[in-house]
Amino acid sequence: MTVTTQPVTLTASYEHCRRINASHGRSFYLATLLLPAWKRRHVHALYGFARHVDDIVDACGGDGPDSPAERAAAVDGVATRLEASLTGEAVQDPVLPAFVHTVRSFDIEHGDIRAFLASMRADLTVTRYGTYEDLLVYMEGSAAAIGLMMLPVLETVPGAERSAREPARELGRAFQLTNFLRDVAEDMARDRIYLPTEDMAKFGVGEAELTRSGATREVCELVAFEIERARLHYRRAREGIEMLVPSSRPCIRAAVKLYGGILDQIAAAGYDVLAGRARVPRRRRAAIFTRHLVAASAAARAERRPRSVEW
C-alpha cells in the first residue's frame, strides 16, 4: 500500500504487480501461468491494481491508514494519481505504471475502473446488504467490472466482443461470491457481512452465530444455499470460454476449476466456513494446472504476439 518516493520503471511496476498476484492470489496466479507471457503481465497489472486498492480499504493497524476517513483519503489519492497518470503525468506509485500501460494498450474502459473504485469506497461505509439484489449492485463494481477489464487482455474470437461481456461479468461475480463464502469469518472480524440479511433471516441465522469458531446447522444451510447461487454464476460464465481466443481458454478453464474447487472444499467440510479457511489441496491444484498445460503451450505457439503490446 505504500506509495514510493522514487520513480518506478515500467518493468519494476509489472514485477511488483506479479509479486502481488503470486503472494495474494495463489490459485489465480497459478492459472495465469497458462497464458502466453505477453498476456500474463497485463493480467498481473490488473490484479495488482485491484489488490492494491482493496488492501488500502482493508488496512487495519500496521503501517496502513486506520480510520475509514484515512482509508477513503488513501483511495482518493490512488484515484487522483491514476487520473494524472492516464493523462501522461509521471506519478510515484508502485502499481500505476503497469496498470496504466495495460489500460492504454487494450483501451480498457475507464467507466469500469470508476465502478471498481466506487465499490471499494462503499466498503468503507456499507457493512451489510439487505438483499441479494443489493449485493449484486455492489458486485457490479467489485467483481463484474474486473471481469470486463480482463476481457480485452484475454481477447475474444472475431464477432464475440459484445456477446462475451456478460459471461465475463458472471465469472467476476462467481469468483467474488466464492471469496465471500470462504472469508465469512475474516470479513466478520472487520465487521462486514456479505451474506444478504434477507437470506440470513430466511435460515434463522443471527450475526452472533457468525462469530463462533464452528458453524451451526442453520449457518451451514445458509452457506449451502449461497454456494448454489455461486455455481449458477459459474455455469453462466462457462459459455464465454469458447468466445475467447484459444491461448486464453486453458487459463480460464483452470481458474474456474481452482476457484470452483474452493466451493467443493467448503461442501466437503459440511459447509462449515467458520472452523477454518477452505483451500484446494496443493496436489489438486497441481493436477488442474498440468491438465491444461499441453493445450496452453500449443495455443501459445500457434498465436502470433501482437506488436501493439510489446515493450
User: 192-241: per-residue pLDDT in tens?
Assistant: 999 999 999 999 999 999 999 999 999 999 999 999 999 999 999 999 99
pLDDT at 153 over 60: yes
| Residues sharing a CB contact under 8 Å with residue 77, sequence separation 6 or more, in sequence order | 3
Each residue's pLDDT tens digit, 40-68: 999 999 999 999 999 999 875 445 567 88
Tell me how far apart the alpha carbons of residues 164 and 162 are, in angstroms, rounded to a whole number: 5
Tell me how far apart the alpha carbons of residues 231 and 196 are, in angstroms, rounded to a whole number: 17
SS (H, E, C) 266-283: HHHCCCCCCCCCCCCCHH
Alpha helices in the chain (DSSP H): 10-24, 26-32, 37-58, 68-86, 96-106, 110-122, 132-139, 145-154, 165-182, 184-189, 197-202, 217-238, 249-268, 282-302
Each residue's pLDDT tens digit, 239-274: 999 999 999 999 999 999 999 999 999 999 999 999
pLDDT in the model for residue 1 = 45
The domain limits of the chain are: 10-303
What is the value of pTM for the model shown?
0.91
pLDDT at 115 over 90: yes
pLDDT in the model for residue 65 = 61
Tell me how far apart the alpha carbons of residues 123 and 118 are, in angstroms, rounded to a whole number: 9
| Positive/negative CA dihedral, 87, 88, 92, 98 | positive
| Residues sharing a CB contact under 8 Å with residue 45, sequence separation 6 or more, in sequence order | 13, 14, 17, 95, 98, 99, 101, 102
Fold topology of 10-303: Farnesyl Diphosphate Synthase (1.10.600)
Q: Greatest CA span in the chain, whole angstroms?
A: 57
